[in-house]
A and B are shown apart, each in its own frame.
Chain A
Amino acid sequence: QVQLQESGPGLVKPSETLSLTCTVSDFPVTSPYYWGWIRQPPGKGLEWLGSIYESGSTNYNPSLQSRISISIDTSRNQFALKLSSVTAADTAVYYCARHEPSGGFDFWGQGTLVTVSS
């Protein structure tokens, strides 16, 4: 059973960089799957941010293209999200999840709320 867990600061100041890590348990991130980030502003819908393949190749949402970076650390079985120049509009629950190269998100973390505020 694949388990994912997000971790990182729950409060980030405007204009700073949001950094989150997703630790994957009981399944190697080197397997042929994508590892993605999805967010959900309070009371709103789901937005895909980006995904990284086990090889390190990435796909990003064009709406965030200039601000987002996703990396993978195979030695720690983790992948990470960095989102720069945050504003209040980036306040959301951030989820990490697994998906097949052409498939839905089958395993999700519990999510972590990140608030952007001074």
Chain B
Amino acid sequence: AIQLTQSPSSLSASVGDRVTITCRASQDISTALAWYQQKPGQPPKFLIYDASTLESGVPSTFSGSGSATEFTLTISSLQPEDFATYYCQQFKSYPITFGQGTRLEIK
């Protein structure tokens, strides 16, 4: 199975900050990567697919990049509603796997 490792596991930041979360795959997955945001008590929200394509309705402050084994999710200017846990997920091959999550907290 393809393993996804996110870093950092947790992150403290302030409103207005620029933050970057990294997701590393254990083998080449091309751009078959998605990103999700999850808030407590809610299902994950689909943010980005194909590594860099924003899902409809997702603010342009979110962006994704990368290919092969290294990917990043960047939030250019943190808003209060962005504090949540973020997960990457690969769909290059079965079994589908998720990263362990990055918890973004308010500083």
Contacts and interface: CB of A to CB of B under 8 A. Distances in A.
A105 B80 CA distance: 25
Contacts, number: 58
Contacts of A48: 89, 95-98
Interface string B1-28: 1000000000000000000000000000
A105 B46 contact: yes
Given A45-B100, A46-B87, A106 B95 contact: no
A62 to B, nearest CB: 6
A109 interface: yes
Contact of B98 (A45, A51, A97, A107): A45
A103 B49 contact: yes
State the main secondary structure of chain B at its contact with A. Answer: loop
A105 B34 contact: yes
State the main secondary structure of chain A at its contact with B. Answer: strand
Nearest to B32: A102
A16 to B, nearest CB: 25
A104 B88 CA distance: 10
Nearest to A4: B43
Given A45-B100, A105-B36, A110-B43, 5 more contacts: A45-B99, A48-B97, A48-B98, A104-B34, A105-B46
12 contacts: A45-B98, A48-B89, A48-B98, A62-B95, A63-B95, A103-B49, A103-B50, A104-B36, A105-B36, A106-B55, A108-B46, A109-B43
